[in-house]
Amino acid sequence: MEKAIEILKKNNYKVTKQRTDLISYLKNFTIHYVAINDIANYMRNLYPGMSNNTIYRNLKEFADIGLVEYQEKNKTLVKYQCDFEHRHHHHFVCKNCGRVTELKACPIEFFTDQLPGYTVEGHAIEVYGLCADCTKKLEKKEA
């Protein structure tokens, strides 16, 4: 929480009760994505007058400063940043349980080597499949 507050201040955002409550809720989602609708419902339970616009704006601002990450495949899902020190990273996402695992390596050079003369301005990579736990459960079922 302290790191998130520090990042808010560093980027000249006010540390309000609403933002603190939003961050507190998002901290529960470091290894799973959460639907923005679920976030909105949670925040409106705390603050009945809070608009969707306010919630979406705060999430976009949080993404801009690296507090949350949007899922590349589905922009209606976000999760709390899993690595504040290395904002640029990629994920493996389990298609069964939704667990998100950070990938340490970045394969961008593999792609840029195939694009001589091109200017790559960004990229995002998510790998999908079954995590180790789900794979084991599936193997036990099939046995």
**Residue 106 marked as a ligand binder:** no
Distance CA 110, CA 16 (A): 43
Alpha helices (runs of H) in the chain, residue ranges in sequence order: 2-10, 17-26, 36-46, 52-64, 108-112, 132-142
**Residue 86 marked as a ligand binder:** no
SS3 content of the chain, % helix, strand, coil (to 5): 40, 15, 45
**Residue 97 marked as a ligand binder:** yes
**Residue 109 marked as a ligand binder:** yes
**Residue 142 marked as a ligand binder:** no
**Residue 131 marked as a ligand binder:** yes
Binding-site residue numbers for Zn(2+) are 94, 97, 131, 134
Binding-site residue numbers are 88, 94, 97, 109, 123, 131, 134
Binding-site residue numbers for Fe cation are 88, 109, 123
